[in-house]
Amino acid sequence: MTDLRVGLVGYGVAGAFFHAPLISATPGLRLSAVVTGDPDRAAEVSGKYGARAVRDAAELWGSVDLVVIASPNRTHVPLTEAALQAGLPVVVDKPLAATAAEARGLAELARELGLMLTVFQNRRWDGDFLTLGRMVAAGELGEVTRFESRFERWRPVPKGGWRETGGTEEVAGLLYDLGSHLVDQALRLLGPVVDVYAESDVRRSGVNADDDTFIALSHAGGARSHLWVSAVTPRLGPRFRVLGSRAGYLKYGLDVQEEQLRAGLTPASPGFGEEPSERWGTLGADGGAGSGDDVRAVPTEPGAYAGFYRAVLACLREGTPPPVAPEEVVEALTVLEAARRSAAERRVVALDGR
């Protein structure tokens, strides 16, 4: 069966380190063209992937079978709409849009045209999150009451670029960047949210978008999520601390796949996605009922970012559901919008509109 031709819009961090290598590692997909105006990047995509470089997304219409949008956030909505109108299925890097209403409009357009629309929420395939999901499903933690999740970094000197210097029109800042992942994971693990509280600050000079944000979610099932995204954390907290009625799960350090992709590895590389034992999390209870500590290390499931594009291919070839449903993204953006409003108004925001 002929490979599906993929057109990639954007070859910055997301395009170069995530989408291009994952697409090229997926049998049945071929990176055919990349939109970039940078001569060095154009030479790289040609030499590394055999893809042609084009300067405008419109040059993809009619020459590819799938469009992947990894350009700056402010372009996601117009480019997605244009690709769908051109009759092409679309993968969009998160966030899909700045608002739930915009995302809902794109989802409705894709449904009307009978085209796949999905969003690259790759952190669903982090090894530690896969491990946590397996344990929760097996009842090893009992009833989960609290989910603490962090993406913290220590970057006292800004890197520059639109993600830090842009405003709301750029959909800049950590709330919509890393926060998109944390909210998505909380919703997948614990279900719908009824109210949101957030604190959001700009801590560094020369930065215009939030770089230090906290989000608290109350879930309909009774659990609570506490989520942190920060670029100004000199002492990093645990990636996960998840508390249940039987046991807790504590995990430090980020999933290994991003650092491996940045180092030039691919899903075909030996050991890709596998975490060394010294980075495994632990499960148990500390000193329960006078019986002493009952804590054990839990091997981390191999990370599986490649599963996203395998699911994309299955959706297009076999009609299976997309790896991330647009309706799920609308739900997450509703929470992110409420968090932004909560931080601005310094109050809890209910998702029933109050």
* pLDDT of residue 84 exceeding 60: yes
Q: Which residues contact 161 (CB under 8 A, 6 or more apart)?
A: none
Beta-bridge mates of residue 148? 226, 241
Region 141-153: mean pLDDT is: 98
Percent of the chain with pLDDT over 90: 95
Residue 174 carries which side chain, given as an amino acid letter?
Answer: L
* pLDDT of residue 292 exceeding 70: no
Question: Which superfamily does CATH assign the domain made up of 4-120 to?
Answer: NAD(P)-binding Rossmann-like Domain (3.40.50.720)
Rg of the chain, C-alpha, whole Å: 20
Region 54-68: mean pLDDT is: 96
The pLDDT score that the predictor gives to residue 353 is 64
How many H helices and E strands in the chain?
A: 11, 15
How far, CA to CA in Å, does 189 sit from each of 32, 122, 186, 311?
36, 15, 5, 20
How many residues appear in the chain? Answer: 354
Kindly indicate the confidence band of residue 293, based on its pLDDT and cuts at 50, 70 and 90.
low
Planar angle of CA 118, 351, 134, nearest 5 degrees:
55
Q: What are the sequence ranges of the domains in the chain?
A: 4-120, 123-304+335-349
Q: What does pLDDT average to over the chain?
A: 96
The pLDDT score that the predictor gives to residue 173 is 95
Q: Does domain 123-304+335-349 have CATH number 3.40.50.300?
A: no
Q: Which two tokens stand for residue 220?
A: 């309909």
* pLDDT of residue 10 exceeding 70: yes
Q: Compute the distance between CA of residue 18 and CA of residue 179 in angstroms, rounded to an integer.
A: 18
**Nearest Cα residue to 222 out of 251, 189, 199, 194:** 194
If one compares 168 and 218, the residue with the highest pLDDT of the two is 218
DSSP secondary structure of 121-181: -GGGG-HHHHHHHHHHHTTTT-SEEEEEEEEE-B--S---SHHHH--GGGT-STTTTHHHH
* pLDDT of residue 134 exceeding 50: yes
pLDDT per residue as tens digits for the range 306-349:
999 999 999 999 999 999 999 999 999 999 999 999 999 999 99
Residue 256 near residue 303 (C-beta atoms within 8 A): yes
Kindly indicate the confidence band of residue 91, based on its pLDDT and cuts at 50, 70 and 90.
very high
Kindly indicate the confidence band of residue 1, based on its pLDDT and cuts at 50, 70 and 90.
confident
Window from 98-107, 134-143, 171-180, 288-297 with minimum mean pLDDT: 288-297
Q: What is the model's pTM? A: 0.95
* pLDDT of residue 291 exceeding 60: no
Domains 4-120 and 123-304+335-349 share a fold: no
